[in-house]
Structure 1
Amino acid sequence: MNAHTLTDRNTLKKTALAIRRNIIRAITANRGGHIGGSLDLADMLAVVYTDFMRINPQNPRWEKRDLMIFSKGHAGPALYAALAEKGFFPKERLDNLNNPNSLLPGHCDRKIPGVDATTGSLGQGLSLACGAALGAKISDSGQNVFCVTGDGESAEGQIWEAAQFAAHFHLDNLIGFLDWNKKQIDGTNDEVLSLGDVAEKYRAFGWNVVLVKGNDVTSIQKAVSYALNNPNGKPSMIILDTVKGEGAECIARLSNNHCIGFPEELQRQVQQELDEKARQLDKEGK
């Protein structure tokens, strides 16, 4: 995609804000959920779904669509929020997150319009993405495959087997995002199992690697555009340097914000923050 077609920063920030509002709507209705690692993906999702993914909400199973594999499937609320914003299903469906017989289970499920893979068993999504990307190469469909991984699951060996596979088969139609928020369910990465220099690891495995601020929509745009427009036989990993809960400071400040209850006082604080961000974006856009 050429630079002149890219969406302006203010519009993307407003889209990211709308995605965060959708996340909060779903988690409020469920009275809790995986909030931290969902909120910090909103800016990336705004960029990718606005500017780069070839999709058709009216035909979610279009055979030549680009694919999105959420390896960190517990962040399903973030993906659902983006899909609802794009019109894949009514936003009212967000009010049924994780309810019995709900069409929106807590983890990603491919029965949902716009969801391309059922995930949640950590460490497996990058392998799924590799298979999809290789299939697209073999069929010459022109499809790109996007895959969102977490830094917690990156301690699992299957991630690195997939990384080796992607480089060996020259899957330059595979664009990965590593949500590097440095926290997981049992604590910080350094406490549980340090990843070391994860960027150098991916480079050593033969990937293009770009490190960006995870809430900087302009930097994310540039990174994705580079990955898509400079095919060199290598897969690309865009490392999103994020803060878990980014976009809602009252959530980001919590020491444990992986999967939490969502009491009314915290709901009120988040809504106030998002309302203030909306006012700031309106001023910037004038």
Structure 2
Amino acid sequence: MDMSHIPDLITPAIPVFVITIIAEALWVKRQRAEAGVTLKGHTWKDTLASISMGLGSVAVGVGWKVVAFAGYAGLYHLTPLRMGSGPWAWVLLFFLEDLCYYAFHRVHHESRLFWASHVVHHSSQHYNLSTAVRQTWTPMTGWVFWVPLALLGFSPEMIVTQQAVSLLYQYWIHTEAIHRLPRPVEWLFNTPSHHRAHHASNAVYLDTNYAGILIIWDRLFGTFTPEVERPVYGLTKNLSTYNPVRIAFHEFAAIARDVARPGPLGQRLGYVFRNPAWKPKTAQAPEAPPPVEAAHPSP
């Protein structure tokens, strides 16, 4: 397939990513020096690791985009439905694609096999624009979530364009430089405040705020949590490496180790598909026995 027919909004934006990452790092450094603002900021090792992950993701995406686009095209030609390409089709696609992203994002947090791909994006203990480009090298787990759009009759070109619009929108919300936006914006859209909570490892924030562009899906489906306490960024068990290869594949390796353990098939499948925090009952700490009441002599 000729790649020239596949819309690409991400690659032309790479220079903007680089410029804004540098500008943000300089701004945070100045804020710290002048006002002692407690922002997490950048460290050069972490930022370089994020940029390396982003460049690797772009490289993998060159080939994967062809496969994904071909899959959408095949389904599009199978369905009798046609949504057209008029303004109302784009409006409907905006909402439906964002709902598909919500489903994609939620499953990638709640099922370990999918989390193994997505965990890359959450592996930094910093929160800045470079975190936005810390992307997976295994995007194959996401394709199925946008299949309904092709079956509804949206053209492959429209689907991948709207996917790119969503990713570009999500770039700017990875920052501590913006505190809160006006209330109507915070109520309708995903914002830096909402997404900071999503990237936090605080117990109150876990598995919340899956939004792409619109926060309304989280409000509707009960997964919304406002930013109420200072976020602690990263994983519940953080990595101690900046090696891009280990960042990209560490959770897949952990799944393989768990599956190799002795145990029934159900347990092995649980390690693969259940919640990333799931453990079989035999691996959980036993509950403490109830206290024994002291015996009292009969009167």
TM-score by length of 1: 0.29
TM-score by length of 2: 0.28
Bigger helix fraction: 2
Structure number with bigger Rg: 2
Bigger strand fraction: 1
